[in-house]
Copies of this chain bind each other. A is one copy, B any other.
Amino acid sequence: MNIDNQLVVINTPKNNKFLAVVDLKKEFTTNEGNFKFSQIKNIPTLVKTSTGVNFNIYRPTYKEFVLLMKRGPQIIYPKDVAQIVLESNIHNSSKVLEIGSGSGALTLYLYTLLKNTGILYSLDSSKINQRRADKTISRYISTLSDENNDITFINEELINFDYKTLNQNIDAIISDVPEPWEFFTNNKIENSVIWVSYLPSMTQVMRMNDVLKEQQFQDIEIKEVILRDWVVDKKIVRPSNKLVSHTGFLISARYINH
C-alpha cells in the first residue's frame, strides 16, 4: 500500500485529533510529542513519539473529516446531510443536482453514495468554493480505494442556470444556498423529481414554500433535525449540556410529471 499522500487522523493519548496528509519526508509536531510520517508502515497503526507515547493513526470517517476540516463557508452538519439524502430518496444509481457546492461537505457525502454508479452535478456561482469543494473531496478520496472524483461541477449563477442543459433526467435536486427560488426564475421543472432545500431561517422556508406551491409541487414537508448527544458513564447518564440547537430547516417536495 502506498502510504504517502494519504489522509489520516492522528489521535493523541489526550484524545486530541488532528487531520493530516501523510508526507513521508516530514515530521508531525504536537504539544504531546513528535513523530516522523515515515514511521507509518500501515494504516491504521500506532506510532511511538519522541516523548514515548503512542499516537493512533487511522483513516477518518466522513463525519470525522467534515467536523475536523478547516471551514470555509458555513458548513452543513452531518445530521442534516443524512436527512437530506433520505428525504431526496437517493440510492446509489440516482442522478442528482446539487445547488451550492459550498464547502463541499454535502457534495462529498453525495459523492461517496453515488461514485461510479450514479450521477452528480454540483452548481455554484463561486469558482473559489468549487475549487475548495473539489480539493476537499479529492483529499478524502485518498481514504477510499482507487476512486476518481466523477462529479460534474457547474460554475454559474443560479438565476442564469439552464436546467435543460443537463444531459440527464435528474431524480433529485438538493440546495444549500440562501435563495433557492432563483432556480425557478428561468426554469420550469418538467420531469418527476424530488426537491430538498436546506435553509437556516423560517422566513426563507416560508418563501420557498410559496414557490414550491406555485410550481405545483406536492407533498411539501418542512422539518428540522435535532441531534441530542448523551453522556453515559457508570454513575452519570444524562444529555450533554451543550447542544447545537439549530442549524437549518429542511423543506422537501415532489414534482410528478404526468
User: Given that A241-B245, A258-B44 are known contacts, is A236 also in contact with B201, CB under 8 Å in the complex?
Assistant: yes
Q: Which residues in chain A, 186-237, are within 8 Å of chain B measured between CB atoms?
A: 192, 194, 200-203, 205-206, 209, 218, 221-232, 235-237
Bound complex: CA A85 to CA B230 (Å):
19
Q: What is the 8 Å Cβ interface bit string for chain A, positions 65-79, against chain B (1 contact, 0 not)?
A: 000000000000011
Q: Is A45 an interface residue when CB atoms closer than 8 A count as contact? A: yes
Stretch at the interface among A23-31, A108-116, A131-139: A108-116
Q: Is A127 an interface residue when CB atoms closer than 8 A count as contact? A: no
Copies in the complex: 4
Bound complex: CA A91 to CA B113 (Å):
5
Residue of B at shortest CB range from A47? B258
Q: Is A240 an interface residue when CB atoms closer than 8 A count as contact? A: yes
Q: What is the 8 Å Cβ interface bit string for chain A, positions 45-74, against chain B (1 contact, 0 not)?
A: 110000000001010011100000000000
What chain B residues lie within 8 Å of A218 (beta carbons)?
11, 56
Q: Is A243 an interface residue when CB atoms closer than 8 A count as contact? A: yes
Q: What is the 8 Å Cβ interface bit string for chain A, positions 228-258, against chain B (1 contact, 0 not)?
A: 1111100111111111111101000010111
Bound complex: CA A213 to CA B225 (Å):
29
Bound complex: CA A244 to CA B239 (Å):
10
A interface size (C-beta, 8 A): 71
Q: Which residues in chain A, 84-128, are within 8 Å of chain B measured between CB atoms?
A: 85-87, 89, 91-93, 109, 112-118
Bound complex: CA A39 to CA B61 (Å):
49
Which residue of B192, B225, B230, B242 contacts A249 across the interface (Cβ within 8 Å)? B230
Which residue of B83, B231, B245 contacts A240 across the interface (Cβ within 8 Å)? B245
A13 to chain B, nearest CB (A): 12
A225 to chain B, nearest CB (A): 6
Bound complex: CA A216 to CA B115 (Å):
33
Interface centre among A11, A81, A203, A247 (most CB of B within 10 A): A203
What chain B residues lie within 8 Å of A113 (beta carbons)?
91-92, 113
What chain B residues lie within 8 Å of A115 (beta carbons)?
91-93
A-B contact pairs, 10 of them (CB 8 A): A56-B256, A58-B192, A61-B89, A83-B83, A86-B109, A92-B92, A116-B117, A206-B237, A226-B226, A241-B247
